[in-house]
Amino acid sequence: MTPPVLGLIGAIGGGKSTAAAHLAARGGHVLDADRIGHVVLDEPAIQARLAALWGGRVIVDGRTSRKAVSEIVFNDPAARTSLETLMFPAIEARCRVEIASSAAPFIVLDAAVMLEAGWTLYDKLLYIDAPYSIRLLRVQSRGWNAADLAAREAAQWPAEKKRSVASAVIVNDGTRAQYQQSLDRQLAEWGWI
């Protein structure tokens, strides 16, 4: 029997990675859709399609340049749609294989664009949020600015829409210990720990 799957989504800079790490410590098998997407980007068939779309500038030393692809897709909605049409099914297929082969008590599918992709791989959907000022500070520590955050948020469903379909929402605006307690309470409520 396949273990239950927790879809982990949320605001950019909200604390999904911290949640994923904590949920892994509680026995969850974490599938990081971004990591899987990076692997998929370097598949020869995907690289050939990307080069056909945007030329050789997106392939550097045999690897897909995520920076070049990002510069293209975050400035051109049609290009972003082309990339999503290519990538979302390939990432979903890899996730399905990993889910089917896991023996963990539960699976955490960390996939920021799960809803946009139309994936229904989850049993419960957890939305992680934080106030904008906190999120901006967090992404600035990664080298982003407010414009970068706005561009990436514009590429996703509005936060209100995501929160409305979530099974639960956790606001990450306190200490790490408080955040972990909130995550544990939610898992306990679902009977997963």
Q: What is the pLDDT of residue 153?
A: 84
Of the segments 23-32, 75-84, 145-154, which one has the largest average pLDDT value?
23-32
| 8 A C-beta contact, residue 125 and residue 166 | yes
Distance separating alpha carbons of residues 143 and 164, to the nearest angstrom: 30
**Residue 167, domain extent:** 5-190
Distance separating alpha carbons of residues 110 and 32, to the nearest angstrom: 5
Indicate which CATH number applies to the domain containing 164.
Answer: 3.40.50.300
Q: What is the pTM of this model?
A: 0.86
Which tens digits make up the pLDDT trace of 153-170? 877 888 889 999 999 999
Q: Which amino acid is at 191?
A: G
Number of domains in the chain: 1
Distance separating alpha carbons of residues 79 and 70, to the nearest angstrom: 10
Which tens digits make up the pLDDT trace of 103-153? 999 999 999 889 989 999 999 999 999 998 898 888 898 888 888 888 778
Q: What is the pLDDT of residue 124?
A: 97
Distance separating alpha carbons of residues 140 and 143, to the nearest angstrom: 5
